[in-house]
Amino acid sequence: MRLLHAATALAATSALALALTACGNGSGNDTSGDQPSAPTSSSSATAAGSATAENAGATKDAGSSTGSSAAGSSTGGGTGTSSSDGTGAGRCHTAGLGFSFGSGDGKISSSDDQQQLAVVLKNKTSAACTIQGFPGVDLKSSGGSWSLTRSSATPKKVTLAAGSSTTFTITFLPWNQGSGTEFKATSVVVTPPNETTSTTLAWPGGSVLLQDGATHPGTYTGPVGS
């Protein structure tokens, strides 16, 4: 009987020991499950968030750079338009000019007996104007018209103040008996440079030797200001 009780007690003791060991092992497994894996995951999310914020900042900076483009701010300037002579004076027009003959119709000392006739252009307006170039000059007769050629002189720009004058010269070769074809001029039509409106004056000279087909005729016009 004592033997039976001793065996039973030993079995109970062994069972208790096994139960305690099992409890100790379970507690150890729970402790290992508390390792800090969540902070690692949170750290990754923070880093990703920071990267996103940095990318957003880069995008914003790029937008600011584009908005302050130098090309956009350099288009506000321009250049003004000034008059060609620097005075603001416009071109002289036929309607604003007075036409007359000057005192320069003296004889030129030469073998072909050429003569010169000065034509005066006066600014009748109250403002200055400019004139440059050769006038159109046509001699008229009862039988036709003769457009004079130009001299080889270089035109210069002339600024006429209100009431002031300038001249150009008609050089002509008078007709003499037996010298060739007579052109009985009665008037002269003058068109200022760059104008299409003309003025007609009575021709003060006599007949002119007709050379309308000559390469270098003895009758021609000079530029304004000559």
DSSP string, 75-124: SS-------TTSS--EE--GGGEEEEE-S--PBP-STT--EEEEEEEEE-
pLDDT for 11: 52
Mean pLDDT of 8-24: 46
* Reported confidence tier of residue 39, pLDDT bands at 50, 70, 90: very low
State what percent of residues in the chain have pLDDT above 70. 58
Helix, strand, coil tally for the chain in percent (to 5): 30, 25, 40
How many other C-beta atoms can be found within 10 angstroms of the C-beta atom of residue 27? 8
Say which residue, 2 or 211, is predicted with more confidence.
211
What H or E segment, with its residue span, contains residue 14? helix 2-32
Mean pLDDT of 102-125: 74
* Reported confidence tier of residue 86, pLDDT bands at 50, 70, 90: low
Average pLDDT along the chain: 72
pLDDT for 87: 59
* Reported confidence tier of residue 89, pLDDT bands at 50, 70, 90: confident
Q: Which are the contacts of 91, defined by CB distance < 8 A and separation ≥ 6?
A: 129, 130, 131, 194
Through-space distance between the first and last CA atoms of the chain, rounded to whole angstroms: 164
pLDDT at 109 over 80: no
Angle at 175 between CA 184 and CA 168, to 5 degrees: 80
Phi, psi dihedrals of residue 143, rounded to the nearest 5°: -105, -5
Say which residue, 1 or 219, is predicted with more confidence.
219
Q: Residues 166, 225: contact at Cβ < 8 Å?
A: yes
Poorest-pLDDT segment among 61-65, 110-114, 156-160, 198-202: 61-65
Which candidate, 184, 156, 172, places its Cα nearest to that of 217? Answer: 172
Rounded distance between C-alpha atoms, residue 116 and residue 205, angstroms: 10
88 Rama class: left (phi>0) / alpha (psi -120 to 50) / beta: left
Q: Which three-class secondary structure state does DSSP give residue 126?
A: coil
pLDDT at 22 over 50: no
pLDDT for 5: 47
pLDDT at 43 over 70: no
* Reported confidence tier of residue 112, pLDDT bands at 50, 70, 90: low
Poorest-pLDDT segment among 12-26, 110-124, 138-152: 12-26
pLDDT tens-digit readout, 178-224: 999 999 999 999 999 999 999 999 999 899 999 999 999 999 999 99
Read off the tokens for 47: 């880093």
Kindly list the distances between the CA atom of residue 165 and the CA atoms of 125, 215, 218, in Å, as whole numbers in the listed order. Answer: 12, 32, 27
